[in-house]
Homo-oligomer: A and B are copies of this chain.
Amino acid sequence: MLVVETVPELRQAVSQLRSTRRSIGFVPTMGALHAGHASLIDHSVADHHATVVSIFVNPLQFAPHEDLTKYPRPRTADLKICDDHGAEVVYYPAVHDVYPTGFRTTVHVAELGTRWEGAARPTHFDGVTTVVAKLFGMVGADIAYFGQKDFQQQTLIRQMVRDLNMPTQVKVCPIVRDPDGMALSSRNIYLSNAERASGLALSKSLLAAQQHWNQGDRDPALLMSAMQAILAAEPGLELSYASIADVETLEPLTSPQPVVVAMVAGRVGTTRLIDNAVLGPWQPL
Contact = CB atoms under 8 A, between A and B. Distances in A.
Complex copy number for this chain: 2
Contacts of A110: 104-106
A252 interface: no
Contacts of A107: 105-108, 164
Contacts of A181: none
Given A164-B133, A164-B137, A105 B104 contact: no
Interface residues of A, number: 27
A167 B137 contact: yes
A180 interface: no
A26 to B, nearest CB: 13
Interface string A119-147: 00000000001100111011010000000
Nearest to A104: B110
Interface in A81-136: 102-112, 129-130, 133-135
Given A7-B165, A105-B159, A106-B108, 4 more contacts: A103-B163, A104-B112, A104-B163, A107-B164
Interface of A: 7, 102-112, 129-130, 133-135, 137-138, 140, 159-160, 163-167
17 contacts: A7-B165, A104-B111, A104-B163, A105-B108, A105-B110, A105-B159, A105-B163, A105-B164, A106-B108, A107-B107, A107-B108, A108-B108, A133-B164, A134-B164, A134-B165, A137-B167, A138-B165
